[in-house]
Each structure stands twice: as C-alpha cells, then as structure tokens.
A = this chain, B = another copy of it.
Amino acid sequence: MTLRVLGVDPGLTRCGIGVVDVERNRRATMVAVGVVGTSPEETLDQRLLVIALAIDDWLDRYEPHVLAVERVFSQLNVSTVMGVAQASGVVIAAAARRGIPVALHTPSEVKAAVTGSGTSNKDAVTKLVTKILRLDAPPRPADAADALALAITHAWRAGSGAAVATTGPGSSSLTPAQRAWADAEAKARRAR
C-alpha cells in the first residue's frame, strides 16, 4: 500500500506544500510541490484566507491519507512565530474538517529522518530530499523542500514503526536515519 502524505511548512509569507507517495519499502515519489505566498501588505485576514483556500485546494486535489505539519517552536522572533502559528492553525483545521489525520513533527525530527542527523542545516535537507525523491533539481525555495521533507519524515516514521514491530525486538534492523529519527523522537517525547 502506498501512503500519500501532504507536508506543509507553514508561514504567512511563504507556506511550503509538498505531496509525496511512499511505498512500504520506503521508496518515496514526489507527486506535487508548491509554495503559497502572501504579501505583508495584505491584511491578516486576507493572508489567512489565501492560505485556507490553497490548502483546501491541495487537500481536495491530492486527497492525502495524512497531513504532516511542522511543529511550531519559539526560537523564531515573536512576530514571525505568531504568523507561523496562525497559518499552521488554519492548515491543521482544514485537514481536521475533512477528517484527515494530522501529524506534527519537529524540525530536528525531520532533519534526523531525512539526513540521519538532527542538527543538519537546510542545505543538507534540500540535498537529501532531492536525492530521496530522485529529482533532477533541488526543490526551491527551501520552504518547498521542507514541506517534502516533512512528508517523507512522516511516512518513514509510520513505516519504520511498522518495520520495527514486524522484525521483532531490538533496533538492529534500523538504518542510521531511522535510528537518528528514533532518538529525535524519544528526545521530543521527553521534552513534552
């Protein structure tokens, strides 16, 4: 069975959106990628409306099994984080309205899943996303690559969990990326 994940890197100015199909053997294929942009000169309600209509359109068009969104953190500056949180609220509610499950992943979980290290930089994530999805060129801007990385992360996380369960006790069958992901996940759980 193929899992279709719609990943969203939320933001008011640029909202990255990516759809990925992932097979049981972890092979991931890009279905679509894009960025929804809104101008800071628009009012907040009009900016959120553009994002709401765009996410509705993507959910209707690609019918993902699950929505993966970046868990919003506070390391950004305050005014930025507000907009990111408001955009993520709109995106999450749009999926919930359709009964589509929503998964949240931290940036370090995403980095760990895709690159094998929770502290990789954005360039490394873009590079690995390009390789994993067998793309001719890196997805641009970075928000688009991040959205695809989120989608891959979620599918591999769900998939690796299943793999661990079927291969019995121990984690010796995990790839380095899966181990890094498991570590990042455990860390995120402890932090909650």
Contact = CB atoms under 8 A, between A and B. Distances in A.
A90 interface: yes
Q: Interface centre among A43, A93, A101, by most B CB within 10 Å? A: A93
Interface residues of A, number: 28
A21 B95 CA distance: 34
Nearest to A12: B89
A46 B96 contact: yes
A163 to B, nearest CB: 24
A132 interface: no
A44 interface: yes
A88 interface: yes
Contacts of A78: 74
A44 B71 CA distance: 11
A77 to B, nearest CB: 9
A133 to B, nearest CB: 26
Contacts of A87: 89
Contacts of A174: none
Interface string A70-111: 001010001001100111111011011100011010000000
Query: 3 closest Cβ contacts across the A-B interface?
Result: A86-B89, A85-B85, A89-B89
29 contacts: A44-B92, A44-B102, A44-B104, A45-B92, A45-B93, A45-B95, A45-B96, A45-B101, A45-B102, A46-B96, A48-B92, A48-B96, A49-B93, A49-B97, A52-B93, A52-B97, A72-B82, A74-B78, A74-B82, A81-B81, A85-B86, A85-B89, A86-B86, A86-B88, A87-B89, A88-B89, A89-B89, A90-B93, A93-B93
Interface of A: 43-46, 48-49, 51-53, 72, 74, 78, 81-82, 85-90, 92-93, 95-97, 101-102, 104
